[in-house]
Structure 1
């Protein structure tokens, strides 16, 4: 244990003292926020009002253009197609919609002209507007008023309740899905980032011949164990710093955007310029409604936070230790990163497969047979179990079996990696294949 601790200490201090570690620990939360915020900001900045000219030869709109919605408005133009095209070329309109004469029972022949191709969003808005207008005319012909039909429609909010032997608990599918993906994503990234560091560290020692001196004092199993645990501690340290910094940044942002300041800013903007309820105002109201729904869902979601946090830390560490040993074995078997590619695919495929399956199965049926088995197998359990836990309903025995199998899996992989490590670290310039690796595992001595 003393030798493992010394190797652990060396691996930890060497990496923590690097400038790259300090820089990434400080800017990591900012990069994470930017990863989600920048695309939204770019999308909002790119949203500009679109104008569509309508050549209504079929009198579909009856001389009344649809009201401007969101970022699109319709303006009338001459019904003659040739003249409408000439006017469109001279104007700054984004598109020209031509409505031919037709039978409402079988509509068709609509054309949309644009200068440089039509965007997906604009095309969808135009199609939706035309479909709505055809529906309105069909309703009128049938003697049904659109306003009456709209009153008949219903939109209800469902309160989801988890009913179990422990009693009734409020739940939120949306919040549970978000928590599940967040936990799974963090474990996925941690395994890849720090697992690759284990692999590179082993290859560096192998190519620099330092390991020939080290291996004379410690056993390969001790060296591998100390290296994997040391890099795991580095990852935990960085994660703790990210959490603390994220909480600090969130607190500062929450303080700078207090309700009083938001009201004051709103009053100032309204006083500065008097305007009607434009599309931007409607979008802001819509965003506010969405934000209110999200806040309510978070408040009503009855998540077992202590269980989720505790299991996250366990699978966070257990998943890394399991895969870190495998990455270390790959580093011992190869001389450079090019040679590692043939061994990386079988190791990383279970992680990628878990994420692919999670979208179709784990989050839609978290207690199904596929989800249960994936949460038991050590190759997939770190992500699969964390995908299931936020939804609740995971039996205690399944959780204990999953944890026990992950611990056994880690011990098995660390033993396997040690067997490969003791031979691979002394091999230079030899191309290794799977058959050769199987021989290394059973070498005596």
Structure 2
């Protein structure tokens, strides 16, 4: 095994060397079919998800009920019964003959025939669960009104008194009417960050191993220093991932607002998208330098899993914890503490920000700690990369790579 190392001055300035490598990565990866295909697939997924969500919102639990002229007086009772059953109904007045035909054709979900005092329900085959609950409530209301009428009371006044009767509610915390959509928005943001880190982060390690196995790295190090090569590779691939994230954010925010899939104010959605991009950049810098150092420890792609998997688990575990913990208890102590820990922050803090439960001081602390960790990891990973990138043959032990040249 060759123990050659490099720490020469390089022929370019520090910034010039990093820029050269970054441009090389950008030129190669932005034109790659894998980048274009993966970006197109995720954009299609985002569009399909938002369109489906909008369709479900517009068509959820809505039924069409026909009333004949003899049962038209039931329009208000049917509507109130549907509301009590948590259903949405569209009432249409038709003749009995036309109504029966529309039921048979599937244009009406149900038709009420007979009289207002003794209605009958006509359906094509069976009633949906929602309409079953609606007509059950209607039958109870009619039976109740008949009993009141027999006792000499006024059913309409009793029904009015019952509909307006309620107990006062004192809330200890304000209710966020956008809570569900905020959760969906937060989960989408973290999923996109996770996917981009997994795809582009592993691309860093694969690129390092490829250059090392093909000995291209030796040619590159004739011009730039090892830390410039590592920094340029990480920066170039980071920009590629950033381009993807901006595309995803623009498509998601634009289509979500255009279709009405998100009823959240545009400012909240835009803010969540911008924070997702910020945390992607921080997260990528954090994990990519570790993956670059890990890739420098081996000389063959077949050995990559052994060194890359531990770093990948640092992405997977926080993501899984975030998806399972934060939506269930957005402002819980566990989520608040984990969102401040740098290795967890890129996955958990964007979700808490989307939900509106992250305090400004928490965001500031997590940013400071995460940036501090990135600085420390850059120094540590740079040392490993410098001492291992030119060693060929068997896998380099991490302890050996950390030793001074």
Q: TM-score, normalised by structure 2?
A: 0.63
Match of 2:47 in 1: 33
Offset at 1:368?
2.2
Which residue, 21, 32, 35 being the options, matches 1:18?
32
CA RMSD of aligned residues (A): 4.3
Q: TM-score, normalised by structure 1?
A: 0.58
Is 2:364 the partner of 1:395?
A: no
Shift of the 12–374 alpha-carbon distance from structure 1 to 2, 3 Å rule, reads same
C-alpha displacement at 1:395, in angstroms?
A: 2.2
Whether 1:7 and 2:13 are equivalent positions in the alignment is no
Shift in alpha-carbon separation, 1:355–1:67, aligned structure 2, 3 A: farther
Match of 1:113 in 2: none
SS in 2 for 1:394: coil
Structure 1 residues 44-77: Cα deviation after superposition (integer angstroms, max 9, x where no partner): 9xxxxxxxxxxxxxxxxxxxx99869xx739xxx
Whole-Å separation in 1 of the counterparts to 2:176 and 2:45: 34
C-alpha distance in structure 1 between counterparts of 2:307 and 2:122, whole Å: 60
What is the CA deviation profile of residues 331-370 of structure 1, one whole-angstrom value per residue up to 9, with x for unaligned ones? 1112334322233332222332233323442123223221
Query: Residue 126 of structure 2 corresponds to which residue in structure 1?
Result: 73
1:205 is aligned to 211
Distance 2:170 2:26 in 1: 46
List aligned pairs for 1:381-392, cutoff 5 A: 381-392=345-356
Which 10-residue stretch deviates more, 24-33 or 173-182? 24-33
The match for 2:386 among 401, 413, 422 is: 422
Verify the 8 A CA contact 1:194 1:232 in the aligned structure 2: yes
The alpha-carbon distance between structure 1 residues 349 and 176, as it changes in their structure 2 partners (threshold 3 A), is same
Summarize the Cα distance change of 1:359–1:15 in structure 2 as closer, same or farther, 3 Å threshold: closer
Report the secondary structure of 2:126's partner residue: strand
Maintained 8 Å contact 1:12/1:233: yes
- What is the Cα deviation at residue 309 of structure 1? 3.7
- Partner in structure 1 of residue 84 of structure 2: none
Cα distance in 1 for partners of 2:22, 2:170 equals 47
Q: 1:378 to 1:195 in 2, by over 3 A?
A: same
The match for 1:230 among 233, 236, 245 is 236
Measured after TM superposition, the shift of residue 221 of structure 1 is: 1.8
**Matches for 1:241-320 after TM superposition, within 5 Å:** 241-244=247-250, 298-299=263-264, 304-305=268-269, 307-320=271-284
Q: Could you tell me which residue of structure 2 aligns to residue 51 of structure 1?
A: none
Partner of 1:409: 373
Task: Give the direction of change, closer, same or farther, for the CA distance of 1:431–1:19 in structure 2 (3 Å limit).
Answer: closer
8 Å Cα contact 1:199-1:328 kept in structure 2:
yes
Q: Which has the higher contact order (CA 8 A, sep 6+)?
A: 2
How far residue 389 of structure 1 moved from its aligned partner, in angstroms, is 0.8
Kindly tell me: are residues 410 and 329 of structure 1, through their superposed partners in 2, closer, same or farther at Cα, counting changes over 3 Å?
Answer: same
Tell me the SS of whatever aligns to 1:331: helix
Q: Is 2:181 aligned against 1:175?
A: yes
| CA–CA distance in structure 2, aligned partners of residues 145 and 373 of structure 1 | 51
**Counterpart position of 1:94:** none
Q: Is contact 2:289-2:378 (8 Å) kept?
A: yes
Structural mapping, 1:131-150, within 5 Å: none
By how many angstroms is 1:10 displaced? 1.4
Q: 1:348 aligns with which of 294, 312, 315?
A: 312
Number of residues paired by the alignment? 309
Which stretches in structure 2 are left out of the alignment for 5+ residues? 1-14, 60-119, 145-158
Measured after TM superposition, the shift of residue 35 of structure 1 is 6.4
Question: Structure 1 residues 177, 249: closer, same or farther in 2, change over 3 A?
Answer: closer
- 1:101-180 alignment runs, 5 A limit: 171-180=177-186
Q: Which residue in the other structure is 2:105 paired with?
A: none
Q: Which runs of 5+ in 1 are unaligned?
A: 45-64, 75-121, 137-143, 255-290
